[in-house]
Amino acid sequence: MATHSLAPSVADRVDALLSRMSLAQKLGQMVQGERASVTPDDVATYHLGSILSGGGSAPGTNAVADWVAMNDAYWAASMRDGDGQLPIPLLYAVDAIHGHANVRGATVFPHNIGLGCTNDPDLVERIARVMAHEVLATGVDWTFAPTLAVACDMHWGRTYESFSEDPARVASFAAGYIRGVQGDLGNDGVIACAKHWVGDGGTTAGNDQGDTAIDEATLEATHMTPYYPALEAGVLTVMASFNSWNGEKCHGHRYLLTDVLKGRLGFDGFVVSDWDGVDYLHEDYGTAIAMAANAGVDMFMVSVEWKQCLELLHRQVEAGIIAMERIDDAVRRILSVKLRFGLFEKARPADRPWSNSATFGSDAHRDVAREAVRKSLVLLKNEQALLPLSKSARILVAGKNAHNRGHQCGGFTVAWQGETTNEAIEGGTSVWEGIQAVAPQAVLDESGASANAAHHDVAIVVIGEKPYAEGMGDIRAGGRVEPGSQVMVKPHTLAPYGKTIELAQLHPEDLAVIQHIAAQGIPVVTVFVGGRPLVVNAELAASQAFVAAWLPGSEGQGVADVLLGAHPFTGTLSFAWPTVAAPTYKASAPLFPRGYGLVTG
Ligand code: GLC
């Protein structure tokens, strides 16, 4: 597996720097604290190598300029020289996983499940490049993307972060995504992070952070496959996964993190832990830290207790439980990534070419997102060729997701769990706003109560899920939690989203609206907005046409582009669509196979 061979200049520079670093300075590089618990002075005092924003953690008024100012202050602190400090620029990281969607006014792209339906890796590379430019506009260096999960059970709350249940389809997007994000490692890209290594999408019953109980051949063929092109494309970081593999947590798994990833696959970037993911290796934090470091974790992502992590790292090294060679290897990896990314040569964030760029959230960027929305739509039913609709038709637009930019963006948008209003998503268009812009006789009535065949030729009913992220989106059939799932041991137990994958049980209001309108003799086009292919037998039967729109992001106008005939349907399912609402739904023949999609025009 060809990866970076460190150019002599980088290797020499790393060795030269390492030889000047104290143990405290080395250990500082290995710790990433969350911005809410770290000041710029902390960065200087403790020599921190990185800071992150957890989902929804933003400076000031969450404007681009606030982000640049924050990064400028952290960077300046990391570059102080003297008084026991070496100038080593820190890395700032965010979850820009479908656009830099933490930030107000960002271009928000469809989540990966929709991109997986486009069959267009070149488009995904363009998306990644636009996203990198919006990340750069805020002075940020590193995004925890792409997620290369192969989601195997849609009970998992992170299904929508997966491009597909098919490893090959996920792999087809990986290299372009890395190229798009990292560019030429100059001023045009940021550092990417392939995650979560490994087997995050394969846990029993889809329990987030649960146990992936499969043999090594299956782990390799299903969950490692998408990483090969990412490593080939030179991804600079990999994130360890919360899940366990046959009962052993990935964060402490030396074979997976070191022997396979760094050894056999030749990965020479660095491994970052997931959010406090080290904590769950052992009840004694110091022991857990040593287990993770010795397994191959190079940088520790710590939400609050980063000082304790530093102190315990130091203690474990002093006690010889973590060898100095392991510390030097971790720091060498971190420094080489910073040098390969040109971080030492970059100006301070406020003076970098893309900082505060007017292209942030620009029409040009939104046009790319709108194209992605169009290509992500999958037409599942179209009786009597109802679609595309005429722009002059008297269209009744209804449903809880018709006019809600928050709902259509899903999780990891402004807030970790997403937003539920239009106001929270600045810029962009709801599905309704997109239809209204081109169909002068369209009217909005979310309840559908005003449906009247004398006034309405056709209805578009936009239904589906409300936003969620991670374990909060888990569906635990019958409320069951499998042994090994950390969801039930985390300090903040994540309340599972629901107990069934049948939409009519989760959101009965949707079927009620469809049936009421259809009962008036009005043909219904149902548009599903959600993060996974829930069982929709009843909703489908009551609809004359049915479209899967996934989580389209800020540019809802892309849905209108296709419903009203400006562009054809071209998308195909990245996941098979189930018929049976049961934990064992995959044992039954799907309603629509993966790859299915009607085309028009
Ligand atoms: C979360 C997620 C991971 C994310 C990280 C930082 O728990 O597992 O995907 O990158 O924490 O927000």
User: What is the block-wise mean pLDDT of the chain (601 residues), using blocks of 10 residues?
Assistant: 64 96 98 98 98 97 98 98 94 98 98 98 98 98 98 97 98 98 93 98 94 97 98 98 97 98 98 96 97 98 97 98 98 98 96 98 98 98 98 98 98 96 98 98 98 98 96 82 53 65 96 98 98 98 98 98 98 98 95 96 73
* 367 counts as catalytic: no
Q: Is there a contact between 67 and 139 (Cβ–Cβ < 8 Å)?
A: yes
* 239 close to 249: Cβ distance less than 8 angstroms: no
- Residue whose Cα lies nearest atom 1 of ligand 1: it is 275
Separation of CA 251 and ligand 1 centre (Å)? 14
- 144 C-beta closer than 6 A to ligand 1: yes
Indicate which residue of 95, 134, 274, 298 is catalytic: 274
Domain boundaries, the chain: 29-351, 364-465+507-563
pLDDT score, position 499: 86
* Tokens representing residue 123 in the block: 């488009």
- The answer to whether 29-351 and 364-465+507-563 have equal CATH topology is no
Report pLDDT for 482: 59
Compute, in angstroms, the gap from residue 144 CA to the centroid of ligand 1: 8
Rounded distance between C-alpha atoms, residue 594 and residue 571, angstroms: 11
User: Which CATH architecture does the domain made up of 29-351 adopt?
Assistant: Alpha-Beta Barrel (3.20)
Cβ–ligand 1 contact at 550 (below 6 Å): no
N- to C-terminal Cα separation, the chain? 43
10 Å CB burial of residue 421 (0-12, 13-18, 19+) is exposed
Q: Which residue type sits at 469?
A: A
Pairwise CA distance, residues 302 & 306, whole Å: 5
Helix (H, G, I), strand (E, B) or coil at 447: coil
Minimum-distance ligand 1 atom for the alpha carbon of 54: 12
Residue 95 Cβ < 6 Å to ligand 1: yes
Q: How many angstroms is it from 31 CA to the middle of ligand 1?
A: 16
The pair of three-digit structure tokens given for residue 571, joined into one six-digit string: 């998308």
Whole-angstrom distance, CA of residue 199 vs CA of residue 489: 20
Whole-number pLDDT of residue 450: 98
CATH entry 1.10.630.10 includes domain 364-465+507-563: no
Say whether 274 is catalytic. yes
Query: Diameter of the chain by CA atoms?
Result: 82
Tell me, in angstroms, the distance from the centre of ligand 1 to residue 237's CA: 14
Interval between CA 47 and ligand 1 midpoint (Å): 23
Alpha-carbon distance of 193 to 177, in angstroms, equals 10
- Is-cis flag, bond preceding 337, omega within 30? no
Could you tell me what percentage of the chain is helix, strand and coil, using 3-state DSSP and rounding each to the nearest 5?
Answer: 40, 15, 45
CA distance 330 to 492: 31
Verify whether ligand 1 is closer than 6 Å to residue 195 (CB atom).
Answer: yes
Nearest residue (CA) to ligand 1, atom 10? 144
